[in-house]
């Protein structure tokens, strides 16, 4: 009788372990099906909020990638400065927020194939257009007050060329535009899609873009170096879009001027 009771106890213990292992496996399976996308919602038309809904080019890409890889999409809103730390710490799986490929970033993360060629341009007041006709050299004057977004390639560019005028760093493009309209800035250096969008939005207030590119950049998605599976999935998704002539169409939906 004691042996039978011991046998029953062992069976219950084994069953409990199997059930626990099954539950853990289920949780792991569910977590691997989640695509956690790091996104900063201050860069229209790349990614921004409208009526409390996140929209933009990268959101369309995120939905497509989640469907292509068979995962459930979760958009994780982050400040720009937190994007790479959140990716490396495992809080997100991929950065889809109009990130430019740079050598310093390549030391820390892996990039999927670039999906778009971009660059930095200046946003100025229409009354000042005669002061900005030569590109980067116009920004070297000690009298030109330049605004940038902290930690962006535009910010690094202004530092690299050693612009002598006052430089103000902002956390959002909306703050920079406000300063430009208040005559606290002379030029706002930002990525080409963003500044064209801002110029069209504020054209009635006298803002125009200087369409002379200051840099040539490639936009891509950032992925942890050890996540080869997601890197392959992202590149295969981009390859499919290109083969079906969908990539350019998706970009032009948000950036009509764009040509590959």
Tokens of 76: 């994780």
pLDDT of residue 16: 52
Angle (deg, nearest 10), helices 57-69 and 247-254: 150
**CA dist., res. 139 & res. 237, Å (int):** 39
Q: Is the peptide bond before 2 cis (omega within 30 degrees of 0)?
A: no
Reading the chain (260 residues) residue by residue, the pLDDT tens digits are 544 444 444 444 444 554 444 444 444 444 458 999 999 998 889 999 999 999 999 999 999 999 999 999 999 999 999 999 999 999 999 999 999 999 999 999 999 999 999 999 999 999 999 999 988 999 999 999 999 999 899 999 999 999 899 999 998 899 999 999 999 999 999 999 999 889 988 999 999 999 888 999 999 999 999 999 999 999 999 999 999 899 999 999 998 777 77
HSE at residue 29, side-chain half, CA atoms within 13 A, is 6
**What phi and psi, each to the nearest 5 degrees, are found at residue 120?**
-100, 140
pLDDT of residue 32: 59
What are the structural domains of the chain?
31-117+218-254 (3.40.190.10), 120-210 (3.40.190.10)
Sheet holding 53-55, edge to edge: 42-43, 47-50, 53-55
Identify the CA nearest to 196 among candidates 117, 103, 123, 87: 123
pLDDT of residue 2: 46
pLDDT of residue 24: 44
Is pTM beyond 0.85 here?
Answer: no
Encode pLDDT of 40-81 as tens digits: 998 889 999 999 999 999 999 999 999 999 999 999 999 999
């Amino acid at each position: 009788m004691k042996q039978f009771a011991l046998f029953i106890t062992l069976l219950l213990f084994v069953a409990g372990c199997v059930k626990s292992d099954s539950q853990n496996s289920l949780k792991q399976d569910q977590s691997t099906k989640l695509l956690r996308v790091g996104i900063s919602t201050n860069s229209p038309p790349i990614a921004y909020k409208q009526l409390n809904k996140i929209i933009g080019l990268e959101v369309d890409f995120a939905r497509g990638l989640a469907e292509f890889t068979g995962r459930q999409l979760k958009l994780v809103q982050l400040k720009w400065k937190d994007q790479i730390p959140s990716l490396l710490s495992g809080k997100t799986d991929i950065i889809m927020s109009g990130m430019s490929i740079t050598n310093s970033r390549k030391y820390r993360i892996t990039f999927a194939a670039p999906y778009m060629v971009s660059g930095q341009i200046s946003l100025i007041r229409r009354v000042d257009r005669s002061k900005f006709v030569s590109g980067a050299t116009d920004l070297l004057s000690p009298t030109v007050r330049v605004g940038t977004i902290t930690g962006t390639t535009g910010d690094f560019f202004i530092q690299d060329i050693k612009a002598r005028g006052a430089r103000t760093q902002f956390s959002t493009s909306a703050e920079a535009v406000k300063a430009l309209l208040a005559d606290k800035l002379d030029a706002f250096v930002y990525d080409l899609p963003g500044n064209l969008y801002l110029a069209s939005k504020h054209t009635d207030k006298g803002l125009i873009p200087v369409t002379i590119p200051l840099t040539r950049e490639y936009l891509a998605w950032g992925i942890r170096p050890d996540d080869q599976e997601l890197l392959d999935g992202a590149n295969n998704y981009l390859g499919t879009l290109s083969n079906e002539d969908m990539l350019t169409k998706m970009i032009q939906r948000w950036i009509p001027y764009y040509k590959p």
